Chains A and B, each alone.
Chain A
Amino acid sequence: MKLRAFALALALAVATTLPASAVTFRFAFQGDLKSLDPYSLNETFTHGMLGNVYEGLTKRDKDLKIIPGLATSWEQVEPTRWRFHLRKGVKFQNGEDFTADDVVFSAERSFKPASDIKTRIQPAGTKAMKVDDYTVDFVLPSPNPILPYEWDTWYILSKKWAEANGSVEPQPQAGQQQSYAALHANGTGPFIITEHQAGVKTVFKPNPNWWGKPEHNFDEVIFTTISNDATRVAALLSGDVDYADPIPLQDVERVNASANAHVLQGPELRTIFLGFDQYRDELKYSNVKGKNPFKDVRVRKAFYLAIDENAIVDKVMRKAAVASALMISPLLFPLAKDFTRPATDPAEAKKLLTEAGYPNGFEVTMDCPNDRYVNDEAICQAVTAMLARVGIKINLLAQPKAKYFAKILVSGGYDTSFYLLGWTPGSFDSWNILANMYRCRDEKGAGGNNNVGNYCNPKVEELTKEVLVEADTAKRDKMIEEAYKIGQEQDWGYIPLHQQALAWGASKKMKIVQRADNQILFYWFRKE
């Protein structure tokens, strides 16, 4: 009896003291976290959010260096066989043990048709094989010296859990039916998702059984979507949220001038670019019938020359961006300085269009997200006006990212004629760009899975294969340079616009770790 009374008193004491000391971290992002299935959408924000819950075999530290994750070490047994030693004693959040079976299962799941991360394990045809419960071998058809570079965002799912809940197949991005894995998460990481209302809010609680040592001091993390720029900034300034991303460029000064919040700015590795459908024989959304004007290199070059990127950087981006001649950030490619953007030349653009047989221009629909990148819709509107000057009439279709990605990516059947997209190479290496953006693909997305417009040149394709197996860095860089020269200066395959700057807004009470890949990994954050 006495014991029971004591226990009751203790429980009461705990119950009354906890709320006072409980630290809740609230944050807002402009877009929503649509699916919790980590294979649905290959997108930085989604990877970052789920990276708080799930883990890959490798992780990346605060400086983007590769560190052990669910694998403690790995070695190349021979050029085409990699061995990964798994961490022992790790449990999934539902209590199951993490073993080699889960890795093999996750590898197979990443190759499934609905997966958006098909290129994580390269080259195609690589097999994961269980050696024992805590050792997995990857057998490659041809060597790949950078095999685990992108595995920090190839998250490991529990085989038993996925099978028991009908989630062996990934949730397709364009799917209407939400699978179990899209609504629930079961990772090994530092946080557990306790509540998820897609598009409204997601609640995270610390995982008490996590194998690592937590750096954060949160008892609860609440994520909400605030798509309106002004509302998001107001929420940060009023203290409703402790962190808001992104801070619209026009409001940076105002946030910095406030007493309780500031903006963390830094270069981002993402390249914002425009792409064309160069594959279909007739554009889906254009008034040109019977042919595809974007198959003509002169039309692509004309578009490139018509767009005044400097004006976009100055006015739309308020100088918080760097104009780019390449599809990769110069921070990630040492020979990038050899490339320069040609000067804007509407007269030359008009001439090229006339030569190509469009003296009066033509009409085409442009797909654009309006809640994904910094000022994305404003960039598209500016492009629309610039192209109007050379006679191109753009019908602008700006949509929230959930609808936008579902339309233009593989699961929507690459349903676009002209689009704006941003891309950060997950491996921080050019091979990712070549493989995803410049390699030919088929209609199901095999090959260059994110090559939305299907730019295709056999020579670049060949170079991409050589780059993957080349171990000599200088030689490899030369090959990459050649591929970029063909892809950009000869074929005008894409219109790279700029690398945007990160603009995270945080309360001054927060200690934030800002990584240049823009993933929001709050297990490093602290709130005083």
Chain B
Amino acid sequence: MSAQAPVPLADEPQRRSRLAAVLDSDIAYSFLHSKVTIAAAIVALVIIAAAMLAPLIAPHDPYDLRTLSLLDSHNPPAWLTGGDARYLLGTDDQGRDVFSTILYGSRQSILIGLMATLFAGCLGIALGLIAGYAGGSLDALIMRAADIQSTFPAILIAMLIDGTSRALFGEQRNDQTVFWVMVLAIGLSFWVQYARTVRGSTLVEKNKDYVLAARLIGIHPGLILFRHVLPNVVGPVLVIATINLALAIITEATLSFLGLGLPSTEPSLGTLIQIGQKYLFAGEWWIAIFPGITLAALVLAVNLLGDWLRDALNPRLR
């Protein structure tokens, strides 16, 4: 036992110095000196953490239909007359607790947003690298496809893919399928930006000496791309990814709002807003307003983080 003890100890100084290095970096500096960014990071973290821990902290499980009671529907928030202490932010038209539904709904929205961004990023980076490095007709083919797609609004592409999936799987799709269809639909509508950025950077990088050297010693092009070129082009991609995450969450909410997203028995933020807007005129504002605020706060926070990241990584702005 004692023989193993020095190992973590030996690691300690190195780890500390790595942490110190991070804290000393330009990025950390600019982060710690921007109050807006810190606030945005806290808001985003709180919402994301609350969403991910939803099953632990939500007082009700809105997706468990057995626990819903119609008699508890249309309750106002707890602090208003007629409110019920069990339902902090009130209930919707089916008796779902709005607070719990926001937590569960944000979880769906964030997960779909993250997966879609990841998917769009991987696809865009891969295609951008190939286009930039291979050049010629393959480049033309990929980039013209990107040009064509960028003439359509992203939401239209997402609706197109969603519609195609309905034709393929029939109207009756299970929850799992819908989730992945949404990821695919949103992911496919956002790859263009990544591909363009990565292709541009690759065109610059591929003529640099280190790439030429790697080619001269006969390294496989795939290996050159991923080991040598990719790390040098990935910076701007991070910025796009952050801003795209916000867009992806908005797109998911829009699709759900239009009734194309998750089924109404498993509402996401967009679905909840859609339910709520029917009752807005009737004075039941809490069903739409609270999820609306959550969505706005989340998207704003992620956007601000993206903005900051762009400035921090841009050498010209330093």
Q: List residues of chain A with CB under 8 Å of any chain B CB.
A: 229-230, 233-234, 248, 250-251, 253-254, 285, 308, 311-312, 314-316, 365, 377-378, 381-382, 384-386, 388-389, 395-399, 403
Asked whether B174 lies within 8 Å of A395 as measured between CB atoms, the reply is yes
How many residues on B have C-beta within 8 angstroms of the other chain's C-beta atoms?
26
Residues 281-297 of chain B, each 1 if its beta carbon lies under 8 Å from chain A, else 0 = 11110000000000000
Residue of A nearest to B72 (CB): A315
Distance between Cα atoms of A311 and B74 in the complex (Å): 13
Residues 101-143 of chain B, each 1 if its beta carbon lies under 8 Å from chain A, else 0 = 0000000000000000000000000000000000000000000
B264 within 8 A of A: yes
- In chain B, positions 41-81 with a C-beta closer than 8 Å to chain A are 64-66, 68-71, 73-74
Asked whether B66 lies within 8 Å of A365 as measured between CB atoms, the reply is no
B232 within 8 A of A: no
Which 8 interchain pairs have the tightest Cβ spacing? A388-B65, A250-B282, A311-B70, A385-B65, A385-B68, A388-B66, A315-B70, A389-B66
B179 within 8 A of A: no
Asked whether A385 lies within 8 Å of B280 as measured between CB atoms, the reply is no
Asked whether A251 lies within 8 Å of B65 as measured between CB atoms, the reply is no
Residues 165-189 of chain B, each 1 if its beta carbon lies under 8 Å from chain A, else 0 = 0000001101000000000000000
Q: How far is the CB of A286 from chain B (nearest CB, A)?
A: 11
B64 CB contacts on chain A under 8 angstroms: 388
Asked whether B278 lies within 8 Å of A229 as measured between CB atoms, the reply is yes
Can you identify 21 A-B contacts, CB atoms within 8 angstroms?
A233-B281, A250-B278, A250-B279, A251-B281, A254-B282, A315-B70, A315-B71, A315-B74, A316-B70, A365-B172, A377-B264, A382-B94, A384-B65, A385-B65, A386-B70, A388-B64, A388-B68, A395-B174, A396-B263, A396-B265, A398-B264
If A382-B94, A384-B265, A396-B263 touch, does A314 touch B281 (CB 8 Å cutoff)? no
A389 CB contacts on chain B under 8 angstroms: 65-66
Residue of B nearest to A378 (CB): B93
Distance between Cα atoms of A272 and B70 in the complex (Å): 18
Question: Which of A229, A251, A381, A403 meets B94, CB within 8 Å?
Answer: A381
Q: How far is the CB of B169 from chain A (nearest CB, A)?
A: 12
If A250-B284, A251-B282, A388-B65 touch, does A381 touch B277 (CB 8 Å cutoff)? no
B282 CB contacts on chain A under 8 angstroms: 248, 250-251, 253-254
Question: Which of B70, B174, B264 meets A308, CB within 8 Å?
Answer: B70
Question: Which of A248, A285, A315 meets B73, CB within 8 Å?
Answer: A315
Distance between Cα atoms of A403 and B172 in the complex (Å): 13
Question: Which of A230, A233, A381, A399 meets B264, CB within 8 Å?
Answer: A381
Q: A230-B278, A395-B172 are in contact. List 18 more A-B contacts (CB 8 A).
A: A229-B278, A230-B281, A234-B281, A250-B278, A250-B281, A250-B284, A254-B282, A311-B71, A316-B73, A365-B172, A381-B264, A381-B265, A384-B65, A388-B64, A388-B65, A396-B264, A397-B171, A398-B264
Q: How far is the CB of B279 from chain A (nearest CB, A)?
A: 6
Distance between Cα atoms of A403 and B64 in the complex (Å): 29
Asked whether A230 lies within 8 Å of B280 as measured between CB atoms, the reply is yes
Q: How far is the CB of B101 from chain A (nearest CB, A)?
A: 13
Residue of A nearest to B65 (CB): A388
Distance between Cα atoms of A316 and B68 in the complex (Å): 14
A312 CB contacts on chain B under 8 angstroms: 70
Distance between Cα atoms of A382 and B74 in the complex (Å): 13
B280 CB contacts on chain A under 8 angstroms: 230
Q: How far is the CB of B270 from chain A (nearest CB, A)?
A: 15
B277 CB contacts on chain A under 8 angstroms: 230
B265 CB contacts on chain A under 8 angstroms: 381, 384, 396
Q: How far is the CB of B24 from chain A (nearest CB, A)?
A: 55
Residue of A nearest to B171 (CB): A397
A311 CB contacts on chain B under 8 angstroms: 69-71
Distance between Cα atoms of A399 and B283 in the complex (Å): 27
